[in-house]
Amino acid sequence: MVIGYTTGVFDLFHIGHLNLLKNAKGMCDKLIVGVTTDELVSYKNKRAVIPFEERMEIVRNIDFVDVVVPQENMDKMSAWEMLRFDIMFVGDDWAKTEKWQQFEQDFEKVGVKVVYFPYTKSTSSTLINETLKKLRDE
């Protein structure tokens, strides 16, 4: 059985989120999704619009998702130690960053493959938030 893992805030759930989960599930037998806690979102000086428990429930009810867990820190290796996944799925906006190159090296040592999916440029939570802000300011 191939176990896949991905994480995200999954705020203002949109087609990019759905595509990530759908594509990930197509490459594994069991897909575990880490949903970022409100506390962890705040480290980026951001705030989720949809509360953590509601985001968990939304993701939990996506057909492609088998298990939902809280993502309480950014340490992907500690997640691997708990969940023992075989593949880590991530958006390609993180590809070639210093942080993810290090994750790739760490994961290679334990046999985990990192798969990057194309970032959905036409829709993102950031873009939705910016559009809503402009509409509110008009």
Least confident of 3-7, 23-27, 86-90, 91-95: 91-95
Half-sphere exposure of 119 (CA within 13 A, CB side): 11
Summarize pLDDT for 64-91 with one digit per residue, the tens: 999 999 999 999 999 999 999 999 999 8
* 46 among known catalytic residues: yes
Catalytic residue among 22, 25, 46, 109: 46
Q: What percent of the chain clears pLDDT 90, i.e. is strictly above it?
A: 64
pLDDT at 51: 93
pLDDT at 116: 95
| Residue 30 predicted with pLDDT over 70 | yes
Q: How many domains does the chain have?
A: 1
Stronger pLDDT, 23 or 49, i.e. the higher one: 23
* 44 among known catalytic residues: yes
Summarize pLDDT for 120-133 with one digit per residue, the tens: 766 666 666 666 66
* Calpha distance 111→22 (Å, rounded): 23
CATH no. for residue 26? Answer: 3.40.50.620
Catalytic residue among 30, 44, 109, 113: 44
Going across the sheet that includes 30-36, the strands are: 67-71, 30-36, 3-8, 87-91, 113-117
The pTM of this model reads: 0.86
Domain span including residue 16: 3-137
pLDDT at 35: 97
